């Protein structure tokens, strides 16, 4: 059985057809998934199944239900309405154009979570697009969101990957050469998928009534601790704190989201909407995996905290309609700035196995020279930090090691002699992963899966369950990017076509 507090608590669109339209005064629209030809479960995540009270092994009816061919009992599926700023510009209404939520289910832990199908067919928010998703993008979302969970980064999760048996037409390079690709649905799970854009749209429409109801619902359900219900500025401050933590966590594991539009920022501070994301191979603050962002590099690795602030400022703007005390919202942004700065410094020191120096200029100098070192020659981020703990960084360099290496290592060792964390190596290996879903690995797994071989997908999912622990016989999943992947689409760069 499914239920839905989102639908029960917030006003819905009176229409139930899928004609594209502007929806006013409503937070959701009724829509039924469009059936697919031959649904087949390609991956099923047992712990996520338990979180939504489903069996650890996919039951026979799972393919029909999660492929969208059969609406399960109690489910009243819907698409959510929201807006957003895309690449810095207000885009108006966006909404779930290919996501359909089946409802919520309470897990064995007593917590209720939403279950949604991404790629389930058109909704009133699909505009001119088809509501579908290709296998490569659905697989990337499933693997990356599960990887992030096991890395300890706040994220939505994935229950299943379902091949639809239908073809989906995509122009991957936006060059007029469209092709048919296999379609798939990623079944996603989170306490809620409410985004910054969920608040921005009613604010932009001047609908203070709807904005207030959405804020009340969100606060009461997700931000109330110990019976005390925060006011709007307290709620906003909490979102600022969660977003700050998320940005620092992305930097820690070398994650670049790629499309940090306000419609892709979770109100709970979860990583959401995995598209043209990437994990850094070579450390480069200027790197973006998203070809659509190649010119401006707005969403580059090192700029993410700055964009987090920009997005929070848009959210503050929307909430200001509900809160006459604008200074209270401004102080949330100030807190974000401070937290990102101090937590980022602390996080990078922890990656080095160090405790903060009493003189913060000493830390700034050490980290400054570290970033210079990492960018002076092409250096694999993941292997560098692992190598540092293990006493040999040489496998991290794609070419010649940089000249400053031995000087920096000397300074580091001297510093570590006085400000090291106890059990330094263990502590370093607990924050520096060995296995991350590198784009080239995902590409190889996609090729195998499309050819009908599911073994690499399942092995990768298994490896990524213990990303901090060296696993015998699994070196291939920790290897740095091979030469063939350097300029290859899907490996070094990705388009939004998904």
- Tell me the catalytic residues: 263
What number of other Cβ atoms are within 10 A of residue 348's Cβ? Answer: 20
What is the Cα–Cα distance from 195 to 404, expressed in whole angstroms?
A: 44
Query: Tokens standing for 429?
Result: 């290996």
Q: Quick check: 130 binds ligand AMP (CB under 6 A)?
A: yes
Task: Provide the mask over 338-367, with x wherever binding to Mg ion is found by CB under 5 A and - wherever it is not.
Answer: ------------------------------
Q: Decide if residue 290 touches Mg ion (CB under 5 A).
A: no
Q: What are phi and psi of 192, to 5 degrees?
A: -155, 155
273 forms part of the interface with Mg ion (CB under 5 A)? yes
93 versus 350: smaller Cβ distance to Mg ion: 93
Q: What is the pattern of x (binds Mg ion, CB under 5 A) and - over residues 212-251?
A: ----------------------------------------
Q: Nearest residue by C-beta to ligand AMP? A: 97
Options 128-136, 148-156, 360-368, 429-437: segment touching ligand AMP (CB under 6 A): 128-136
Nearer to ligand AMP, 223 or 250 (CB): 250
Query: Which of 221, 220, 238 is CA-nearest to residue 229?
Result: 220
- For ligand AMP, the binding residues in 92-111 under the rule CB under 6 A are 94-98
Cα–Cα separations (whole angstroms), residue 315 to 195, 246, 258, 264, 330: 10, 16, 20, 12, 11
Phi first, then psi, for residue 225 (nearest 5°) are: -120, 135
85: helix, strand or coil: strand
Q: How many CA atoms lie within 13 A of 265 on its CB side?
A: 30
Name which of 77 and 131 has its Cβ closer to ligand AMP. 131
Residue closer to Mg ion by CB (options 98, 105) is: 98
Q: How far apart are CA 317 and CA 200, in angstroms?
A: 8
Q: What number of chain residues touch ligand AMP (CB under 6 A)?
A: 16
Site string (131-170) toward ligand AMP, x via CB under 6 A: xx--------------------------------------
At 251 the three-state DSSP class reads helix
- Token pair listed for 37: 């030809």
Asked if 259 interacts with ligand AMP (CB under 6 A), we say yes
Q: Alpha-carbon distance 18 to 429, whole Å?
A: 50
Q: What residue ranges bind ligand AMP (CB under 6 A)?
A: 94-98, 125-126, 129-132, 259, 261, 264, 273, 275
Q: What residue ranges bind Mg ion (CB under 5 A)?
A: 264, 273
């Amino acid at each position: 059985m499914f239920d839905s507090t989102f639908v029960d608590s917030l006003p819905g669109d009176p229409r139930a057809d899928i004609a594209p339209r502007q929806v006013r005064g409503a937070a959701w629209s009724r829509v039924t998934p469009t059936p697919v030809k031959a649904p087949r479960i390609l991956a099923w995540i047992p712990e996520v199944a338990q979180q939504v009270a489903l069996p650890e092994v996919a039951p026979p009816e799972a393919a029909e239900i999660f492929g969208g061919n059969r609406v399960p009992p109690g489910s009243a599926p819907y698409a959510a309405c929201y807006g957003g700023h895309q690449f810095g510009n207000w885009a108006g209404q966006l909404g779930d154009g290919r996501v359909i939520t089946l409802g919520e289910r309470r897990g064995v832990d007593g917590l209720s979570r939403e279950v949604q199908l991404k790629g389930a067919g058109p909704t009133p928010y699909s505009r001119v697009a088809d509501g579908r998703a290709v296998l490569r993008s659905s697989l990337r979302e499933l693997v990356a969101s599960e990887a992030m969970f096991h890395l300890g980064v706040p994220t939505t999760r994935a229950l299943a990957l379902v091949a639809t048996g239908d073809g989906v037409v995509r122009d991957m390079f936006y060059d007029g050469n469209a092709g048919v690709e296999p379609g798939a649905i990623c079944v996603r799970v989170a306490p809620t998928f409410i985004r910054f854009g969920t608040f921005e749209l009613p604010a932009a429409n001047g609908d203070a009534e709807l904005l207030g109801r959405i804020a009340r619902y969100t606060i009461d359900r997700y931000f109330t601790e110990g019976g005390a219900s925060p006011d709007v500025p307290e709620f906003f401050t909490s979102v600022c704190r969660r977003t700050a933590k998320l940005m620092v966590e992305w930097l820690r594991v070398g994650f670049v989201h790629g499309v940090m539009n306000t419609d892709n920022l979770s109100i709970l501070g979860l990583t959401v909407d995995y598209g043209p994301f990437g994990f850094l191979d070579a450390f480069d603050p200027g790197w973006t995996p998203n070809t659509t962002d190649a010119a401006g590099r707005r969403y580059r690795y090192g700029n993410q905290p700055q964009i987090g602030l920009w997005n929070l400022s848009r959210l503050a703007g929307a909430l200001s309609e509900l809160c006459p005390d604008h200074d209270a919202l401004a102080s949330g942004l100030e807190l974000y700035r401070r937290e990102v700065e101090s937590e980022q410094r602390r996080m990078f020191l922890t990656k080095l196995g160090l405790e903060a120096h009493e003189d913060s200029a000493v830390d700034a100098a050490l980290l400054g020279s570290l970033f210079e070192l990492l960018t002076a020659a092409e250096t694999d981020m993941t292997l560098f930090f692992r190598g540092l703990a293990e006493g040999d960084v040489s496998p991290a360099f794609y070419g010649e090691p940089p000249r400053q290496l031995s000087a920096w290592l000397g300074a580091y060792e001297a510093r570590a002699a006085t400000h090291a964390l106890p059990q330094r190596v263990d502590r370093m290996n607990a924050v520096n992963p060995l296995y991350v879903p590198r784009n080239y690995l995902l590409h190889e797994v996609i090729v195998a899966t499309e050819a009908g071989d599911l073994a690499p997908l399942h092995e990768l999912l298994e490896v990524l369950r213990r990303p901090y622990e060296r696993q015998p016989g699994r070196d291939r999943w920790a290897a740095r990017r091979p030469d063939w992947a350097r300029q290859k689409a899907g490996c070094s760069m990705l388009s939004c076509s998904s």
